[in-house]
Amino acid sequence: MAASGAAVRLDLDGRPIQPLTICMIGAGGFIGSHLCEKLMFETQHSVLAVDVYDDKIRHLLEPENGHPWSSRIQFHRLNIKHDSRLEGLIKMSDLVINLAAICTPADYNTRPLDTIYSNFIDALPVVKYCSESNKRLIHFSTCEVYGKTIGCFLPKDHPLKNEPEFYMLKENETPCIFGSIDKQRWSYACAKQLIERLIYAEGAENGLQFSIVRPFNWIGPRMDFIPGIDGPSEGVPRVLACFSNNLLRHEPLKLVDGGLSQRTFVYIKDAIEAVHLMIENPERANGHIFNVGNPNNEVTVRQLAEMMTKIYTKVSGEPSLEVPTVDVTSQEFYGEGYDDSDKRIPDMTIINEQLGWNPKTSLWDLLESTLTYQHKTYAEAIKRATAKPAATS
C-alpha cells in the first residue's frame, strides 16, 4: 500500500521525515528494484531512476496502471560512462545512491579492465558531482574489499583459526588482504576499495556527506539472471543464480574447489530495510561504513547446494538428481588467475548501534522464497528453450 494519507513518519530520533528526491544510479538492477519498491510503497520520497535497463522496475513505471506513486518515479535511460545529463540529475536531487557496478565473479577474471573501469573510473564523476554540489552520497561497495581473512594464513588445524578475531570482518579494524597481482579475481575488490578511500578522503578534506554499504550476499527474487533466458547463454551469474539455473535445468550443481568456502546470506527485504534506515537517518549514518549481512546464516557453498536441492524439490514437486552435485576446479569454472576468500562473516556492531538494524529471515526461509520465485518465473521458459524440435517425416 502507498504511503499517501499516512501519519507523519519519524526518524529514529523522533524528528519528522521530510520527502527527499533521490537520484538512484543502477535503479534497474536487483537491489535497485527492491529499493524502488520500498520507497514507492512505504514513503513519500521521489526517485530519479538512472539505468540502461528498466525490466525489473517496469511494473513501477507504467502510468496506465494508475499507481499512486506515478508522479514520484522517473526513469532516465543513460549510461553514466558518457552522458552529460548525470550531473544535472545529481544537482536536482537531495541524495544520491550509487548501485552501478560490474559485480559477478566470472567477470573479474575475464573482464578485469571493464571491472576496474566500472567500479572505480565510472564512479569518479558521481563522487565529484556530489562533493561539488554538496549532495549526500550512499555508495554501494562490497564485502570483497576485505579480501582474505587473517585466519586463512594459519595452518589448517591451528586452534586460532576458530577465534573470531581471525575471521570476523569489522569495518574500521579488519585489514584488506588481497592476492597477488596475477590473480585478476581481485580487480573488483581493489577497484571497490580505492573508490571507498576516495569517498572517505572527500569527506575528510571537502566535507562530503557519505555512507558506504558493504553487502554480504544479498539474496532474493530478481537476483542476477538465468543464462539463455533473461541473460547471455554464456553468462555465469553469482552462486545462487548459478545453482538456480542448474536446478531449473535438472543439472548437477557445480561446486568450485569442493564448495568449501564459507559465506553468509541475507534476505534482500531485510537488507533493504537497512538501506531505508540509512536514507532517513542521515545524522546517524553519515561518515560510516556499514556491513549489511546476516552472520547467523553461515554455510559452506556445499551446504548451500544441499539446502537448495532440498528446497527446490519441495517447491517444484520434482525429484532431485541421483548425483545432485559435481566438483569442478576454480580454473575450469572461472579460468586462469582465479583466487578466493575463505570465509566472510560480518561484524554487525556498527549498524546495530547506529541504526538498530538486525536481519530477521533465516537461510531456509529466504531460499524457499527465492526458489519459489525462480521456479514460477523461469521453469516454463526453460522447458520451452530446451525442448527438442519435433522430428519431421
Give the catalytic positions in this structure. 188
The runs of H, that is alpha helices, within 144-238 are 187-206
Q: Phi, psi (5° rounding) for residue 82?
A: -150, 55
Question: Which three cell numbers, joined as nine digits, stand for 367?
Answer: 531460499
CA–CA separation, 245 and 378 (whole Å): 9
Q: Phi, psi (5° rounding) for residue 359?
A: -70, 155
Q: Phi, psi (5° rounding) for residue 173?
A: -130, -40
Q: Phi, psi (5° rounding) for residue 362?
A: -70, 160
At position 255, the amino acid (one-letter code) is L
With contact defined as beta carbons under 8 Å apart, do 259 and 300 qualify?
Answer: yes
Look up cell 543502477; give the residue: 26
What's the DSSP call for residue 18? Answer: P
CA–CA separation, 232 and 359 (whole Å): 33
CA–CA separation, 172 and 120 (whole Å): 21
The runs of H, that is alpha helices, within the chain are 30-42, 58-61, 85-91, 105-110, 112-119, 124-133, 187-206, 239-248, 268-280, 282-285, 301-316, 330-334, 349-355, 363-386
HEC states along 259-280?
HCCEEECEEHHHHHHHHHHHHH
How many Cβ atoms are within 10 Å of 54's Cβ, its own excluded? 17
Count Cβ atoms within 10 A of the Cβ of residue 306 and give its class: 0-12 exposed, 13-18 middle, 19 or more buried.
Answer: middle
With contact defined as beta carbons under 8 Å apart, do 375 and 248 qualify?
Answer: yes
